[in-house]
Structure 1
Amino acid sequence: MKRRIFVLKFLSMIAIATILSACATSYQPVPTFSPVDLDAGGRALKTRNLLVILDASSSMEEGYQQWKKFDIATAVVRILGQTLPENIGIRSGMRIFGGDPAVFQKSTQLIDDVGTFDRNEYEKSLATVAGAGGPSPLPAAVDAAAKDLEGMTGKTALIVVTDGEKMGMNPAENARALKEKFGDSVCIYPVQVGDDADGKKLLDEIAEIGGCGFGVSAQSLLGGQQMADYVARIFLGDQLDSDGDGVLDSRDKCPGTPAGVNVDADGCPLDSDGDGVGDYKDKCPGTPAGVDVDADGCPLDSDGDGVGDYKDKCPGTPAGVWVDAKGCPASVLDSGSTAWTFNEINFETAKANIQPSSYGILDEIAAALAANPQLKVAVEGHTDNTGARAFNMDLSQKRAQSVVDYLVKKGVSPDRLSAKGYGPDRPIADNGTRVGRAKNRRVQFVKVD
């Protein structure tokens, strides 16, 4: 009997493992792109050395869009080597940090010794890093790079391909020490994989410390011509990219693009929903095709009720009237629900002071409570995950209490109200997007029996 129970448990474990394996995230392969045959003839070589630092830490095993970040990073590093003219005459090397602990025992390791650039050796070295793992010791990699660069003559490009996440100690200080040692002979070029805001802030700081380099997104290099323009800009003279978007002026159909904006192959800001407003300033991404939008990329809303004209079934609603999802007047606390969410109750930034623009909806809530004297509610405050959790917990509690205090002043009995702050702990949308964070910043009323 014991043997039978053991066998059944073993089979159950296999079944669970099979289910978990089937549910594992499946990432798409990074689209292949052919390198452009970059002609370096007749152009001055302004950078004579290259050191690539590749992030192979565990965070690079995570996904970005439909791809694995590590696959994006290695694709960028590979096409960089394939785009550099084989006879360009530079010295190059490659270093990783992190890496599968079973393969790389050191926190950072030089996998391609510094020497005359050889495309075959470059690609063989990259192939030794089959996957990512371990911590993210970028500070150690930068310190080690300082030793790699000793004895080099001429200008050096230090290209760091990373997501900028989970770095632990601030590598900006290590970059500053490296810069003080080598001065203008070393330029730092961070390439961010993904779009983590803190990671971008860190890499922008490192690029600024480098002084003569610049940062780009890995996505902006996933094209043969885009990589060729990038390589030419770093290593070759006599061609310009005035707005710094990675697309040379000779092919840039949108000159003057603001710094840091992701662009397409023509140098124009990405516009994912095709509404004519670039993603970088589109406050309403995902607008349906054909919908008229304003300068912020948001659907026109003629009556200002928060419902775009294209789906407003009751146009011309008077100002301040509460409406439903179709833009038609509705009861604020409809009797068919037990919870009501309001993103329209706004506060001063990082404070619990209610903005005057919210008084109208709060007055309607007070009137609805007066019309339903048996209704008791818990007022819940919620925030997004921006900032420290402890601060957000305290802020959400204070904001919920501010709403309670306002309603009490409007005549609602205090024994019908309670306040509770949940900070960022109960999100209803993805905090990784601007729209999701806006939805998570809300006041919710929950019926109390």
Structure 2
Amino acid sequence: MYKKLLFIFLILTVVSFGQSVPKSPFSNSLWLGLEGGATLPQTDYKDIVPNYFGRVTAEYFLESWDFGSLGFVGFGGMGKVSGEDDRKIPSKLAADVTEYGGGFKFVFNVSESVYPYLLVSGANITYKVKDDATGNELNKVITIGNDNDHSLRIGGEVGAKFPLSDMFALKVSASMYATSEDWLDDYWNDVNKDWYATVGAGVMVKLFGGVKDTDMDGVPDDLDKCPNTPLGLKVDIDGCSVDSDGDGIVDEEELALGTDMNNPDTDGDGLKDGEEVRNYKTNPLKDDTDGDGLKDGDEVIKHKTDPLKADTDGDGLSDFDEITKYKTSPVKKDTDADDLMDGEEVNTYKTDPLKSDTDADGLKDNLEVKQYKTNPLKADTDGGSILDGAEILRSTNPLDPKDDVESIKSEVGQAIVLEGVVFATGKSDILPESEAILTKAYYTLKDNPEIHVQIQGHTDNVGNKRKNMDLSLARAESVKAFLIAKGIDGARITTAGFGPDKPLVPNTTAANKQKNRRIEFLRTK
């Protein structure tokens, strides 16, 4: 039994260590206590039968040391000790026990919420032994020895006190007492004396004295700069809550917030609770405050987005979608700088928010959508063979395929016959039916400003050669004048007249002569 009591005391003490060492609330104070519990006897009756006890105590403690307080205890109480043994008469026995005595108590100052203690005491006890079945007092009729009805007992007690406030405390205890006589069960044994143990609990009230500590944090009120610290929190020497986890928030505030005072990042989002509360105004209990699918820490540290806004740049796409799905910038509403917000491109126009010209037609997506009303997903909106951007440069209508005139494809040094250029007979006047082919020549030069050409005139062999030479040059000059009138720089165009000297085919038939009467387009640069 001694070993069990010592074990209980050690457990209470060890559990309490590791907490801040407070000023004892029992220092220089008088306390009145009331407790009760069960008795567990060890007598000549072989079977232990638990019964009750009750006790009133008065305890006065001296000025405490850092490690604890020494007190003087006086007490008085009563109870009953019982036993059973089929070998004895009577088989069931009960003794009414009354005690009064005193002792020394030491309360260990290791925690502000649990104070283990050790008590050594002595007492005078009187007892009346009865047949528990009939209630009749035995009066030493059946025993050997004298008729003593009192004894001394000594013993030890371990327990713990639990302060509820400056004035009240709870206590639990376990004790063991040895008696000086062997008459507790009305049987005498010259080998072993009777003894009994108790386990109990009670309440204590302070009558006067002691250190006033309203918040019970171990720091007296006259020294406590934070006299209303919640019970159970660690405090510093000034009585103010500490920051146990080093997150920038003291434990008292964490208690109010509901965060974990032993975990600097309660929600595991990569930001300390203090940073969330003080700097970013995010929720320290929710790892994704704005619900955009990104942890607050990733938003602040990695992506530089606003953890309070699901769409930091206000472009119509959540930060999560921009980063993980579309690869756009979550802090720039128009990633490709085409004057369309990323959200418009994705949700409304279905264009690529990473390409300013989704269909690569030479026009930015915003110009196609807002100005020219062309399709930003189709390079040639009208299907007429000329890209929308080229049509805008030509000043043709990208929505009308009829004005889509292809340019002439040629290499430097290559001569191409402009089929369809028709002149008045014997003159250099260009007839209207030449408009289509000359327009193609015009767009070739307009679309390719780096190209230089020579316009060459040719005739058949009919008539005076000198006149044919002059006529071929005059017709080449007419074509040049047409192109200059359209806006082509004349410095890019030279002319030459070869008359009948370079026929394509022999001038033997009317059809061949028609082929030889021509204008050629020679790229010189």
Larger fraction in helix: 1
Larger fraction in strand: 2
TM (norm. structure 2) is 0.23
TM (norm. structure 1) is 0.26
